[in-house]
Each structure stands twice: as C-alpha cells, then as structure tokens.
Chains A and B, each alone.
Chain A
Amino acid sequence: MDIRASAEKTYTSMVQVIPQILGILLLVSLLLTIIPPEWYGMVFTGHPLVDPVAGAAIGSIAAGNPVTSYVIGGELLNTGISITAVTAFIVAWVTVGVIQLPMEMNILGKRFAIARNLCGFIFAILIAILTEVTLSLLGGIL
C-alpha cells in the first residue's frame, strides 16, 4: 500500500472512531460525576455468593482509570467486604465495558463484543473465587 492509500485508510478509520471515542468519554465522565465512590460500598451485603456477582456487576458498569478501582477496592477491603467481591469488582472494571459496548459492537462485530463482555463478567467471578482459593492454599489470604 502506498503512502496516499495508507493515509486515506487511516483517515477513514479516524473519522469513524473519533466521534465514538468522544461519546464514550462523555458518558464515562458523566458516570464518574453522578456516581460517587462511596456508592460502591453500599451495594455489598456480606453474602458470600451474592457479593462477587454484585462486585462484577458494579465493575462492569463502572469506568475510568484502573487505579481508581484499586483505591476503591482497597477501601472496600478495609470496610470488611470479602476479597472475592473486591477481586470480581476490579477484574470486571478492566475486562468488561458496558458503556463502550455499542462502540465495540460497531467496530469489532456484535457476536465478538457480546461474547467478550459476557466472558469478562463470568470470568471476573471465577477469577475472584480462584484467587481466593489459591491465596488460601498459599497462606496469603488478605
């Protein structure tokens, strides 16, 4: 591909992608403004099975810098929320993107995007359980 064709192809992609990225950023900013970090802790009930699912669900709709999820996760741990719930929360935060799902479906295909996000949700819970079990076996539970 020559320089002109390559530039044209990249430009076409930019024109398609930039409005979508702006839309996602606007939605993420609105969500960060509307939902205060303290809200996340109010959802957990202390139930060993429900809490990881709740953690994954909140992580899926939450958005922003992953460091924020670590900070919130650390605070949740200090308030007595289980490590399984916190792990599901921080894993879903980085692997599932409900807000950007329309953009992902548009660019990468519906089936791919839905399968990837569903996997992200289910695996967040599985990884959380496995992480707790592994830490227990290694004697490093938090």
Chain B
Amino acid sequence: MKQKGEMKKENGNGNQNKKYNSRFPLIFLGIVAGIYCIVAILDITVAIQALNAFFDVLRQIIPVLVLVFVLMFLVNLFIKPKAIAKHLGSKSGRTGWIIAIIAGIIATGPVYVWYSMLADFREKGMRTALAGVFLYTRSVKLPFIPVMIYYFGGLYTAVLTTYLIVFSVLTGIVCEVAEGKEETPVPKDKHPE
C-alpha cells in the first residue's frame, strides 16, 4: 500500500517529481541563450550591455548562493525530517507561522535562490502554507527599510510592512488550498526500509 506522501508525489500536486525533472533547467537555459542570440543579431550593443549587467548581478548573488547550498548541506546532514515536520509541519501551529515569517524577513538575496531549499524542506514535511509565507515575507527587506523611509516616510513604511506580513499569511493559506488538501507527510526516518 502506498504512503500518503508517495501518492501525493504521483498525482502531480507534490513538487518532487518536478524538482528532479532533469531536462527543464538545460532547456530553459538554452531558450534564454537563443533569445540572447536573436537580440545579438538585432543589436549587438544591447546584448553586450545585458551580459555586462548579468555578470555584475552574478557577482552579487554568488555569496548568497553559496550560503543557500551550505545551509542545504547542513540541513540534510543534521536536521531530521521529524524535526522539520514538528516545527514547520501541519501540526506546528502558531510557532510554525512565526518561524516562517521571521525566516522570510531575515533571508537575504533574490527569492529564487531559496526555491531549492524550500523544496527540500517540503520534502521533509514542511507545510505548504508556510513555504508560501516564507516566500511572501521575502518582500520585507530589512536592510532597505531606511531607503524606503527616505522615499516614503516612516509611517508609510510601518503600515506597508504590517500589511505585507498580514497578507503573507493569507498567501500561504491560498497556496495550500490551491495545492490540495494538506496531508501529514510521513517523516522519512520513519519509512520502512
């Protein structure tokens, strides 16, 4: 008899079957390279400017990427699925929401560098809603708050930040509903051999 978690992977609602779709990343990169070729044919200056911008952004992102992969390695090594399920799973309660909100706010770098780690966490039992909350609260940029205050004022920044946090919870709930009924994942270390 199949475990609930396995059934979820097979019915298309889970992320793991997608995560290990090995062709997509290279096809995607190939399409983007094709777009660059077309742009280069039309206007080589634009293509070169875009490539220069790409290397500038890449230099900024590399430290965050390294941090994410080190964290993934450490999480895989030390944190058991049972622990993830306990603190970020369906039964984590208010603590899970608070952890997801705080983690989303303090996480640095572009949102897409965290997708892979979130996929790992969900595989280990993280509740779908909390993944949605984490990604939404990435919109609260602590280091840039002084810049926002400079342009829009302190009151505006406080009001907007509060709404972003409140709506992160709504986003999480909608994501979970959209994915289908939340199932209690079976911790991997409890799986029969």
Chain B contacts of A6 at CB under 8 A? 73, 76-77
A22 vs B33: C-alpha distance when bound (angstroms): 10
Q: Residue B102 at the A interface, CB < 8 A?
A: no
Number of interface residues of B (CB under 8 A): 73
Contact B76 A9 (CB under 8 A): yes
| Complex Cα gap A100–B116 (Å) | 13
16 cross-chain CB contacts under 8 A: A6-B76, A13-B120, A23-B25, A23-B32, A25-B57, A29-B57, A33-B53, A70-B148, A70-B151, A107-B115, A108-B122, A112-B15, A112-B128, A116-B132, A119-B171, A138-B155
Interface of A (DSSP majority class): helix
Measured between alpha carbons, how far is A26 from B54 in the docked complex, in Å? 6
Which of A21, A83, A105, A112 is close to B65, meaning CB atoms less than 8 Å apart? A21
Given A108-B18, A109-B15, A130-B163, 5 new contacts (CB under 8 A): A10-B76, A16-B19, A106-B28, A111-B179, A126-B167
A32 at interface, CB cutoff 8 A? yes
The total of interchain contacts (Cβ-Cβ below 8 angstroms) comes to: 215
* B32-A27 in contact (CB<8A): yes
Q: Which of A25, A27, A134 contacts B58 (CB 8 A)?
A: A25
A87 with B28: CB separation less than 8 A? no
Beta-carbon nearest neighbor of B178 in chain A: A115
Given the interface contacts A105-B18, A106-B18, A112-B132, does A29 sit within 8 Å of B51 by beta carbon?
Answer: yes
- Report B-chain residues with C-beta under 8 Å of the C-beta of A83: 156
Q: How far is it, in angstroms, between the C-alpha of A6 and the C-alpha of B35 when the chains are bound?
A: 36
Q: Is the CB of B51 within 8 A of A107?
A: no
How far does the alpha carbon of A7 sit from the alpha carbon of B76 in the complex, in Å? 8
**Cα–Cα distance between A27 and B144 once the two chains are bound (Å):** 24
Given known A66-B144, A116-B135, A142-B153, contact A106–B19 (CB-CB < 8 A): yes
Q: Counting CB contacts under 8 A, is B147 at the interface?
A: yes
Among B26, B53, B160, point to the contact of A87 (Cβ < 8 A): B160
Task: Given A30-B36, A32-B53, A105-B18, verify A112-B175 contact (CB < 8 Å).
Answer: yes
Instruction: Return the chain B residue nearest A100 by Cβ.
Output: B112
Please tell me if B21 contacts chain A, counting CB pairs below 8 Å.
yes
**CB distance B13 to A140 under 8 Å?**
no
Given the complex of chains A and B, what is the CA–CA distance between A142 and B41 in angstroms? 46
- B156 with A97: CB separation less than 8 A: no
Name B31-87 residues within 8 Å CB distance of A: 31-33, 35-36, 39, 46, 49-51, 53-54, 57-58, 61, 65, 69, 72-73, 76-77
A19 within 8 A of B: yes
Kindly list chain A residues whose C-beta atoms are within 8 Å of the C-beta of B152: 70, 73-74, 77, 142
B-contact 0/1 string along A55-82, CB 8 Å cutoff: 0000000000011001101100100000
Are B113 and A21 within 8 A (Cβ)?
Answer: yes
Judging by beta carbons under 8 Å apart, are A19 and B131 in contact?
A: no
Contacts of B171 in A (CB 8 A): 95, 116, 119-120, 123
The reply to whether B77 and A3 contact each other, CB–CB distance below 8 Å, is yes
Q: Which residues of B contact A73 (CB under 8 A)?
A: 151-152
Q: CB distance B115 to A71 under 8 Å?
A: no
